[in-house]
Amino acid sequence: MDKDLTKIAAFEYIVYKLKEWYEDMNPKKKETGENDLSVLKVMKLLFFVSGVDIANNLFDIFDRFQAWQYGHVEADLYNQYSQKKGNFSNLEISRERTILKGKTVTELNESNFLSKKLKSKIDNDIEKLKEKNNELINYPAFELVNLSHAYHSWDIYYNKLKKPYTDMDKSIIINEPKYYQ
């Protein structure tokens, strides 16, 4: 399967799982469809999900994290977001929120071509992130930005090397101390 298609499908699956988490934590907003899962917030949460399990991280799929002004951003996905104007196959994401295109996570599981192994890995990583800080999904985007700025990888690439917008060495990200609150 094409690596870019896998990355986009895995991203969509993660966003569906993040929205599910958000709705579990905010049941009244589930009824209205309201959420604050903006592209900025989702990019930060994607970074945290990708690295929460050192041994089973997702940096083999999300392999182009860069240090941008507002923290870690997966460059390929942000480029796709820009090109598609936030309109992915199964969801629409904006600077304010995420809208799912009529599918539940179960339906996405059935239609999405991701392997069961990858879906299981993503599910496990999201559960591990919840264990670290179940309230993380409710943090405002800029709180997540501040949290990502505490990571050594961001500081090294953005401030010390002065190489923002450069792909980070995955081993630095994998082995650095992790912060979730």
Using CA atoms, how far residue 136 sits from 25, 51, 87, 147, 181, in Å, is 10, 15, 25, 10, 7
Residue 169 is assigned to a structural domain of this protein: yes
Residue 131 is assigned to a structural domain of this protein: yes
Q: Provide the token pair at 13.
A: 């699956």
Average pLDDT, stretch 124-136? 98
Amino acid 110: pLDDT: 56
Determine the structural domain holding residue 148 and report its residue range.
Answer: 3-175
Residue 181 is assigned to a structural domain of this protein: no
Q: What's this model's pTM, rounded to 2 decimal places? A: 0.93
Residue 42 is assigned to a structural domain of this protein: yes
**90 or 127: whose pLDDT is higher?**
127
Could you report the per-residue pLDDT of 18-62, keeping only the tens digit for each?
999 999 999 998 888 889 999 999 999 999 999 999 999 999 999
d(CA 43, CA 22): 15
Residue 20 is assigned to a structural domain of this protein: yes
Using CA atoms, how far residue 155 sits from 25, 52, 93, 148, in Å, is 31, 19, 28, 9
Amino acid 46: pLDDT: 98
Residue 115 is assigned to a structural domain of this protein: yes
Could you report the per-residue pLDDT of 58-115, keeping only the tens digit for each?
999 999 999 999 999 999 999 999 999 999 988 999 999 998 887 665 565 555 678 8
Residue 17 is assigned to a structural domain of this protein: yes
pLDDT > 60? residue 147: yes
Q: Look at the chain and report how many structural domains it folds into.
A: 1
Amino acid 101: pLDDT: 82
Residue 180 is assigned to a structural domain of this protein: no
Name the region of 173 (left: φ>0; alpha: ψ -120 to 50; beta: rest). alpha
Q: What is the average pLDDT score of the chain? A: 92
Could you report the per-residue pLDDT of 155-180, keeping only the tens digit for each?
999 999 999 999 999 999 999 999 99
